[in-house]
Structure 1
Amino acid sequence: MLSDESAAVIEATLPAVGEALDEITTRFYATMFAERPELLDGMFNRGNQASGAQRRALAGSIAAFAGALLADRDARPENLLGRIAHKHAAVGVTDDQYTIVHKYLFGAIAEVLGEAVTPEVAAAWDEVYWLMAAALVAREARLYLEAQVEPGRPWRQWTVVERREETPDVVSFLLRPADGRPAPAARAGQYVSVRVRMPDGVRQLRQYSLSSAPGTDVRRITVKRVHGGDAPEGEVSNLLHRTVREGDELTLSAPFGDVVLDDGDAPLMLVSAGIGCTPMVGMLARLAATGSTRPVHVLHADRSPADHALRTETHDLVERLPDARLVEWYESSADRGGPGARSGQMLLEGIDGPALPADATVYLCGPLPFMREIRGQLLRLGVPARHIRYEVFGPDLWLADAQS
């Protein structure tokens, strides 16, 4: 609970701090990595550092948490904290690293705001930071316990048993635990971190959804090559595409992620674009494996049928479900998409056949602009906001923005 004294200070200083957060987080990361370069080896995504995505997500999360405390000092923004905790556990964050972050973050605050950071201001924001850190540490401890891994050590070696070329830019890797022990428990919709050593010796992490049903010892991840020449954000996907073959080993984390298929019987809407289809295919595979009879609307948008990864498998899984319906939108070549394929952008209004169920649980995955647009369409169609869940590949800029 935020103290009365600190609440008054945070309320008075939040606008100024919020305006300076981008500069604060820029200095924070620059100073921390200059003095602790080992954190870029196997922990932080340098592609997100280069693009500024991690900086913006951190700034938004801090402002969102502070704002939530002011709105209700006894409450916590559970969506924000849960999402961050899962991301942290998937890369092996440990308790002591919060002390490191505190040192450099508050050093950056003092540098940027200067004399405005009085002892009272510093103490109030310190209280906010440690309230957020304590909440995350507790959640991450539970996640590590549930995953049956040591805190900060979620890693395990997996052997590639098959490599499948899905499209010219998408490849799937089927993996089995290299030690022969059973695969860890997973839920449909979760992701794993893949840790690889880059040519310069630095280890980098990326998250990939499990694109297969989680009930077997063979798991699948499906990786889209990120184009951009020498852009660092594509370095891991390009390395995996170029170098990983059957018989190789990959280092994977235990499965994490809070956007998972629920166990109820309410109608489902699985809405995706591009490589955002991967968690949806995992959910469909789970539904088919359990003989589900739930009504399911599967809606997907892509550039063309040839670019639609796991398209044939998606069609097969939909056919196996007794009350499932698939609608696809393609920017081009929709005529080659088969019966029912549509041209252009996804438009939910006017879909032929059964109406989209307003009581459905909706799962979204794809580029942020796509998800924002589809969420707006869903709200206009009467789907409650609380029924809409989404997965983001990378720092969650949407949640940070929405909470602020």
Structure 2
Amino acid sequence: MLSEPSAATVRATLPAVGAALGEITERFYAGLFAARPELLRDLFNRGNQAAGTQRRALAGSIAAFATHLLEHPERRPDAMLTRIAHKHASLGVTPEQYALVHEHLFAAIADVLGEAVTPEVAAAWDEVYWLMANALVAIEKRLYEEAGEPGWRRWEVVERVTETADVTTFRLRPVDGGPVADFRAGQYVSVRVELPDGARQIRQYSLSGAPDTDVRQISVKRVAGDAASPDGEVSAHLHARVREGSVLELSAPYGDLVLDADDDTPLLLASGGIGVTPMVAMLAHLADAGHRAPVTVVHADRSPVDHALRTDQEAYAGKLADAGVHLWYERDVPAGAHAGLVDLARVPVASGTRAYLCGPLPFMRAARTQLIEQGVAPADMHYEVFGPDLWLAQQG
């Protein structure tokens, strides 16, 4: 909870600070990487930095946290903090790095706002920062303690499967031959690879196989760049260079988009494109557990040939006692599927449904709106964003 003097100062300065956060975060990253270039090379996603999405996500999370402190001083925004902490834990972020971030972030604030940063203003925003940072450190400490295999572990690719023209599945076993801990359906792992220029870049990929097997399975979409962002460095590397026998470094599983429902809870699993990956793991778990309540499966894609893991998705759904599969395609629509964009008004949604969403932001925004219109409570909707969470400030 913010002290009363700091709360008053933050409330008075939030409009100005919020309006400048885009420039502040841009200067923050520039200063941080000038001082510590190895962080950009080996920790931060260079593609997200080039596209500016990480800066926007950081600005949004700071503004959302400060706003929450003012509007709900009696409680902490744990949903938002937990989502960030899982990502940090998957990257191996340490408590010491928060002091480094503080140094460069507050230098950027002073640089951008100049004389407006009085000692009182600096102290108030310093309090905001450390409330957020210390909360994240505590959550990340717990996550590290809970992880069955903390740190980086070497895994050998034992099978490579082409799913579509731009999606490949990699199945891996630990090089050390040790046990493979279960994960919770919906979680992801970080994958660290060494690129040709020597950089050791890290990306997160949802685990797309059943949770209780002796392998880890990830299904990777090759990211094609455009005018606003470059090609995906790591996904291109995995597609072009990684074969059976290759070795990758993986983190322990993390992520808060996990099934949390008993056998009486109706579920809706909605995915778009490569967002299908955590949903397949969820379906595998539900099939194995013999889930009895209704499960509604919704997926949208460009066409049937672009729909990765469709066979697995339909096979697991077919093992459930009460499941319906609803597919939307933009072209080459087969019999039984729908044309165009997802319209959940055409899908029966049982009372008390808990929904899980994963896919592009426009898809998830539309699905969330349609589900609310169907009577699904906002608290019963959970989502995963691949990459910086630009939805975080709105949904946290």
Q: Same fold (TM over 0.5)?
A: yes
Q: 1:316 aligned to 2:315?
A: yes
What is residue 227 of structure 1 aligned with on the other side?
224
8 A Cα contact 1:46 1:232, kept in partner: no
Q: For 2:391, what is the secondary structure of its paired residue?
A: helix
**1: CA distance, partners of 2:186 / 2:146:** 17
What is residue 163 of structure 1 aligned with on the other side?
160
Q: Which of the residues 338, 341, 349 maps onto 2:345?
A: 349
Match runs of 1:12-23 below 5 Å: 12-23=12-23
**1: CA distance, partners of 2:174 / 2:289:** 24
Q: CA deviation at 1:358?
A: 3.2
1:357-378 Cα distance to aligned partner (Å, 9 max, x none) = 1311100000001100111111
**2: CA distance, partners of 1:302 / 1:73:** 42
Q: Relative to structure 2, which stretch is displaced further, 393-402 or 191-200?
A: 393-402
1:75-102 Cα distance to aligned partner (Å, 9 max, x none) = 1111110100000000000000000000
Q: 1:256 aligned to 2:235?
A: no
What is residue 27 of structure 2 aligned with on the other side?
27
**2: CA distance, partners of 1:161 / 1:323:** 34
Q: CA deviation at 1:350?
A: 2.7
**TM-score, normalising length from structure 2?**
0.97
Q: 1:212 aligned to 2:205?
A: no
Q: For 1:334, what is the secondary structure of its paired residue?
A: coil
Aligned residues: 394
Q: Which of the residues 178, 181, 184 maps onto 2:178?
A: 181
In structure 1, the gaps of 5 or more residues are none
Match runs of 1:5-404 below 5 Å: 5-149=5-149, 154-228=151-225, 232-265=230-263, 266-335=265-334, 339-351=335-347, 355-403=348-396
**2: CA distance, partners of 1:74 / 1:201:** 47
**2: CA distance, partners of 1:218 / 1:167:** 21
Q: Give the residue type in structure 1 aligned to 2:393.
A: A
1:210-243 Cα distance to aligned partner (Å, 9 max, x none) = 0011111111000001112795451110110000
Q: Relative to structure 2, which stretch is displaced further, 108-117 or 394-403?
A: 394-403
Q: For 2:86, what is the secondary structure of its paired residue?
A: helix
Q: CA deviation at 1:323?
A: 0.7
**2: CA distance, partners of 1:54 / 1:6:** 27
**1: CA distance, partners of 2:148 / 2:268:** 32
8 A Cα contact 2:304 2:333, kept in partner: yes
8 A Cα contact 2:182 2:213, kept in partner: no
Q: Give the residue type in structure 1 aligned to 2:222.
A: R
**2: CA distance, partners of 1:148 / 1:374:** 35
8 A Cα contact 1:358 1:381, kept in partner: no
8 A Cα contact 1:2 1:74, kept in partner: no
CA shift in 2, pair 1:233/1:116, >3 Å: farther
**2: CA distance, partners of 1:328 / 1:263:** 24
**Percent of counterpart pairs with the same letter?**
63
